[in-house]
Amino acid sequence: MLPYKSLIQLKRDSSVALYIQLCNSFINLITNGTLQPSDVLPSTRLLTELTGLNRNTIKLAYEELISQGWAESVERKGIFVLSKLPALSEKKKTDSEQKTNTLEEAFSWTNPFKEIQISENYQQSVLTIDDGFPDVRLTPVDLLMREYRSISRKFYGKNFLKYGFPKGSENLRSALSRYLSDTRGLVVNPDNLLITKGSQMGIYLASRLLLTPSDSIAVGVSNYRSADEIFRYVGAHLLRIPVDEHGMDIDFLEDILKKQVIKAVYIIPHHHFPTTVTMSMERRLKLLKLAKEYRFAIIEDDYDFDFHYDAKPYIPLASIDHNRNVIYIGSVTKTFAPALRIGFMIAQPEFVRAAASLRQLIDKQGDSLLEEAFSSLFENGEMERHFRKSLKIYKQRRDLFCEILQSDFSGVIDFKIPEGGMAVWSVFDQSISLPKLSLEAGKKGLKIADGSFYNNEVFIPNGLRLGFASLNETEIVKSLELLRSVI
């Protein structure tokens, strides 16, 4: 007889009924091959002695086994494993066999993501110099939840619990259209706008529709790594264009266009990632002219337009694009709270409709109630008030952060004070190993990146984006003191 006393493990403090636990134990013994078809199961009397369960509980477990088709009752003989079940080989392997099998996949599949870094978890309460994120402590989450609850309680609010339009909330698209017109001079119809779960989804959808394995896309020598990974995933060839203090070198791009076909150009003209530089208006206009002449798409990633400190920011390329070459991608969550995934993509109605069709294949729709709540915040002016308040606070934090960098890290970190955004692009002296710096800082209670996210096949700067926005003044002083001590 099998050693049922050790094979059957019951948790008496579990919320799962004991007879269900016993039933499941037998199912596991059958499916792993320990019990074979037609094997007799122990009597209720014997199981009572082995498990301490009363006979009624055991009878219930056997009845459940029989009703699920795992066992059968034979009159005056007992309970047996169902004879019609297919025989499963018993799992009795040597240690070497078990080690070998751990290296084998149960089925064949393709993993195109081996080189892609999994994003960091920033939800832990650890002092962190991040990549340039908003301070979620400033987020008016109570106002957002108030709107959320208010909408859900109204008689029409229940409708938002049903399946909605894959383009996103009509009210939010209308509110965003008005907001973008007021703040960026971007005149857009709600039909041209798709709500996404952050700008990353917008980049993915645009790439899927634009690019094939035979296409080339122009990107910066320094560029947003996650965008590069998307372009590689869809099979496109990346053409690296130099980026200087005035943004992407459009003259260099023009020389390439004379020699080969480019399907699209991906740019971050406003606070380029990772270097934070802003593209000059001269280059913006020339890029639009080239797009019209050579008929390529421009994917304009404008992830943090709302945060510019020293002067009024340049309006987006999409606002002055009269030939419909620009696909404009933005984010609400980057400036509100990263975990609340709301972004948008703007393009011609046909392109947006196709993107919505693609989006619903992987994500039927967004969070309708959340989108409606954001719509209310835009309509009643709370979003603009939040941006204005945050802008003032972030400017103060930027100034303090850069003041300390200038005084305490001279000769160690080379940087320029950013005009906007939430991070300072900082190039470290070559004698400093960023992976080692990250490791040693972690031991002292400071989380900081190791710089690998910004590297690519031609750009290895020994640099970091040092985020200041998510740190208050006390935290800025403490984190930079720790960083200095580690260096």
Query: Domain of 177: which CATH number?
Result: 3.40.640.10
Residue pLDDT, tens place only, 301-360: 998 888 888 878 889 999 999 999 999 999 987 778 888 889 999 999 999 999 999 999
| Strand ranges across the sheet with 413-415 | 413-415, 423-428, 463-467
Domain containing 438 — which CATH number? 3.90.1150.10
> How far is 54 from 31, CA to CA, in rounded Å?
26
**Which residues lie across from 465 on neighbouring strands?**
425
In this model, does residue 97 exceed pLDDT 70? no
Select from 322, 346, 380 the last residue of a domain. 380
Average pLDDT of every residue of the chain:
91
Residue pLDDT, tens place only, 17-26: 999 999 999 9
DSSP letter for 429, please.
P
> How far is 119 from 231, CA to CA, in rounded Å?
18
Look at the alpha carbons of 73, 76, 77, 79 in this order and tell me if their dihedral is positive or negative: positive
What phi, psi does 198 have (nearest 5°)?
85, 165
Residue pLDDT, tens place only, 268-298: 999 999 999 999 999 999 999 999 999 999 9
Do 355 and 237 fall into the same domain? Answer: yes
> How far is 33 from 352, CA to CA, in rounded Å?
53
Q: Could you tell me which of 392, 369, 415, 179 has the C-alpha nearest to residue 276?
A: 415
The distance between the two most distant Cα atoms of the chain, rounded to a whole number of Å, is 94
The answer as to whether 77 is a domain residue is yes
In this model, does residue 95 exceed pLDDT 90? no
Per-residue pLDDT band for 123 (boundaries 50, 70, 90) equals low
Per-residue pLDDT band for 166 (boundaries 50, 70, 90) equals confident
Do 283 and 347 fall into the same domain? Answer: yes
Please say whether the beta carbons of 268 and 234 come within 8 A: no
Do 398 and 363 fall into the same domain? Answer: no
**Domain span holding position 67:** 4-81
The answer as to whether 343 is a domain residue is yes
Do 311 and 401 fall into the same domain? Answer: no
Alpha-carbon distance values, 363 to 358, 359, 369 (Å) = 9, 6, 16
